[in-house]
Amino acid sequence: MGLLDNLFERKECDICGGKVGILGGTKVKDGRLCKECVRKLSPHLSNLKSFTLDDIRDHLAYREENDEKVKAFNVTHVIGGKGTKLYLDMEKKQMIITSYNNWRNDNPDILDFAQIVSNDMEIKENKTEIKKKGEDGKDVSYNPKRYEYSYNFYVYLDVNSPWFNSQTIKVNGSSVDGYDNDEYELCYIQTQEICEILDLLKNGQEDVVDEAVEYYRDLMASPKRKYNKTYYNDTRRYSRSSEYYYGKDPRKDHYKF
């Protein structure tokens, strides 16, 4: 009975004193947290077992301050596609990265432009073999094998924060089927735009942001051109050479120049 008594003994959150349930709540280095306290933490806070209760108290104080900043945040630019977006407040030199439309109620972490360290982009290619029915009704491969491709577009951001050091931006919503289409082209350009805007903000070039945003809006609205290396080499850039983006694009492995 003693073991069962301990199992079902009421446990309390070491932060707020609330109930943590029979599973013991979320453990930190020297205590445990209830669901309500965990809900208040930044979604980017990881490895909670390495944080002490004092660390958690400091973090919750930071989150309360962040919530006040969110209420005062004035959106001047929205950068991105159907997935995670980059919201800018150019007057306060702050930004928010979130995939939620109703983000003011979600208390997303606010970052100062000065906290940007670096960014990188990745286009993840998923390959699925296409098969046909054989004479016996079983799936068999074509000769040579055939594949269908889908893509997801990411920007990885490194930041200088006491609570986390990175955030991931998934530019597209659903996976993009194929690479020779307007949707791929649009997501590719949107990914470049996010990288370039982040570079400009990191380098203190806020005065160029409006021009860069207008440039990318025109590029996205223009008639889509068939992908070719020369076009991307000739495209004007603000912070990075087109060779950087070309090197990140899986299409270069499919098209022959």
Nearest to 168 by CA among 153, 189, 183, 184: 153
Q: How far apart are CA 104 and CA 114, in angstroms?
A: 22
Q: What is the pLDDT of residues 194-246, one digit of tens each?
A: 999 999 999 999 999 999 999 899 888 875 555 555 555 555 567 787 778 88
> Of 90, 116, 109, 81, which Cα lies nearest the Cα of 189?
81
Tokens of 6: 């301990």
In the predicted model, is pLDDT for residue 23 greater than 80? no
Phi, psi torsion values for 143, nearest 5 degrees:
-125, 110
From residue 8, how far is each of 23, 28, 30, 112 by CA, in Å? 9, 20, 21, 46
- Are 89 and 74 in contact by the 8 Å Cβ rule? The answer is yes
Average pLDDT over residues 43-58: 94
Nearest CA to 236 out of 253, 257, 214, 251 is that of 214
Helix (H, G, I), strand (E, B) or coil at 38: helix
The pLDDT tens digits of the residues spanning 130-186 come to 998 888 878 888 888 999 999 999 999 999 999 999 999 999 999 999 988 889 999
Is 60 exceeded by the pLDDT of residue 8? Answer: no
Question: How many whole angstroms separate alpha carbon 35 and alpha carbon 11?
Answer: 13
Size of the chain, expressed as the number of residues it contains = 257
Q: Examine the pLDDT at 96 and tell me if it is beyond 80.
A: yes
Tell me the torsion sign for CA atoms 43, 46, 49, 54.
negative
Kindly indicate the confidence band of residue 7, based on its pLDDT and cuts at 50, 70 and 90. low
Q: Distances from the Cα of 61 to the Cαs of 55, 56, 128, in angstroms? A: 10, 9, 48
% of the chain exceeding 70 in pLDDT:
89
Q: What's residue 132's pLDDT?
A: 86
Choose the weakest-confidence range: 12-26, 32-46, 173-187, 191-205: 12-26
pLDDT value, residue 229: 52
